Homo-oligomer: A and B are copies of this chain.
Amino acid sequence: MGLALHTDLYELNMAASYMRRGMDQEATFSLFVRDLPERRGFLVAAGLESCLDFLERFRFEEEDLAFLRDGLGFDADTTELFRDVRFTGEVWAVPEGRIVFADEPLMEITAPIAVAQLVETYLLNIATFQTTIASKAARCRLAARDRELVDFAFRRTQGADAAMAVARTTAMVGFAATSNVEAARRYGLRTAGTMAHSYIESFPSEADAFRAFAQDFPHRTTFLVDTYDTLNGVRTAVEVIRELGLEDSLGIRLDSGDLLELSRRARAILDEAGLAHVRIFASGGLDEVEVDRLVAAGAPIDAFGIGTRMGVSADAPYLNSVYKLVEFDRRPVVKLSEEKATEPGRKQVFRGAAGDVIGLREEPPPIGAEPILVPVMRDGRRSGPRHGLDVAKRLFEADLVRLPAAATRLDDPEPPQPPFSGALRELTAQARAEALRRAGVTP
């Protein structure tokens, strides 16, 4: 089945109405985040590649049409209007991995209004979710400094598909590996993982379990040491390492307790045993705040497994994203509402040494500034190659080092608020006057 019914009913209603009336004028919709959650100093754009896949494949299959008719009650003539709908439009977008702020378009979609409207729900969903997670994971990355991070979120993300996106977006912002095997296959990621407490409990003793695992995986053994008593567990790991003459890729994992204190004492035990090369891995309800605390305190932890709180972006599980009509039939459009005002016209974000300016797509860039929205789709086809994760990673790293320090603070960050260009402010004033006229209000 196609994905065309992955939409809200009202999109189908509106599209049907437009098509019945022959309203095939071009519309531009802008997808952006209105304001940042309290603890976000920046966002990391993500989800674009999935959105472009969706747009390339967008069509109503025979069984979708049957549901429009039999399930939703569209008449036969109206249903037929959906048969040939394809996304034939144009997309400008901020490439995945780039850093963005409030009001900056992540994507701008231009197409005949019916189809531009039909794709709203899916594009908003994917872009909002993946940007939410990439932005949360980037904070973990900042907290970890030079320590490695591993995505451990699969078991408690909001569904199994969400876990795939989490693994991919965490890789984008510099996570070293994931526990998620399917995601590793799909996206070519490094995997990481060891054993659970249940494994230890299935053997007569902890030492038996460690020995068995090390025999089965001599080249990738990380001993989970906290099933019974953590420091005893570390000593047992040392014994088994010696007994079996294990050498490479060794580690222990702490999954509970006071990770600062336990990591110090575990490190001391390992070092005294001449096992300075055995790494310490920590997990268990961690997020960027806890990782930051541990790293700042000098905990001798080499890598962190970050799970649930990152994987659902627990402190800010959604973004205030919108998909707003900004131009219709070449006419700039605004919404008047006080709380939800929007700026009209096709936009561009100009990124320069002094920060970003949000302007119009057609205006000349300020000297030295880079336009960060680029054309990614024309006539419904990708206008360039599909970007891999490697490209997104590079873009993220490059933008990250240019962020103001205030935006990268974990606590109480200050996100930049990019100003609007003169040309955009002028167009906004004109469009508001026109909207007031339509509303029957004399300004």
On whether the beta carbons of B232 and A439 are closer than 8 Å, the reply is: yes
Cα A227 to Cα B438 in complex, Å, equals 11
CA distance A206 to B335 in the complex (A): 13
Interface residues in chain A, defined as those with a beta carbon under 8 Å from any beta carbon in chain B: 3, 5-14, 16-18, 20-21, 23, 25, 27, 29, 67, 71-72, 113, 117, 120-122, 124-126, 128-129, 132-133, 152, 154-163, 165, 179-182, 184-185, 191-199, 201-202, 204-206, 212-213, 216-217, 226-229, 232, 256-257, 308-309, 312-314, 317-319, 321, 323-325, 328, 333, 335-337, 339-340, 435, 438-441
Instruction: Please name the residue on chain B nearest to A439 by beta carbon.
Output: B228
**With the chains together, A247 CA to B325 CA distance in Å?**
31
Given contacts A18-B202, A129-B157, A158-B317, 15 further A-B contacts (CB under 8 A): A5-B182, A10-B193, A12-B193, A13-B194, A13-B195, A17-B216, A121-B154, A125-B154, A125-B157, A158-B159, A159-B162, A201-B325, A201-B333, A206-B438, A256-B340
A6 near B125 (CB under 8 angstroms)?
no
Contact of B8 with A232 in the complex, beta carbons under 8 Å? no
Q: Are A160 and B122 in contact (CB under 8 A)?
A: yes
A196 cross-chain contacts in B, Cβ below 8 A: 10-11, 14, 117, 120
Are A8 and B193 CB-contacts (below 8 A) given A159-B165, A335-B227?
A: yes
Check A8 against B312 for contact (C-beta < 8 Å). no
Contact A198 B325 (CB under 8 A): yes
CA distance A125 to B157 in the complex (A): 6
**A12: chain B residues within 8 A (beta carbon):** 181, 193
- A125 near B439 (CB under 8 angstroms)? no
Q: How far is the CB of A188 from chain B (nearest CB, A)?
A: 9
Q: Is the CB of A314 within 8 A of B325?
A: no
B158 engages A158 (CB within 8 Å) = yes
Report the Cα distance A113→B29, complex, angstroms: 53
- The CA-CA distance from A199 to B122 in the complex, in Å, is 18
User: How far is the CB of A199 from the nearest CB of chain B, in Å?
Assistant: 5
Task: Pick from B27, B113, B121, B132: contact of A155, CB below 8 A.
Answer: B121
Q: Pick 18 A–B contacts, CB within 8 A, sort by A.
A: A5-B181, A6-B154, A6-B163, A9-B193, A13-B217, A14-B195, A14-B199, A113-B202, A121-B155, A129-B156, A159-B161, A198-B324, A201-B333, A205-B438, A228-B441, A229-B439, A312-B317, A314-B318
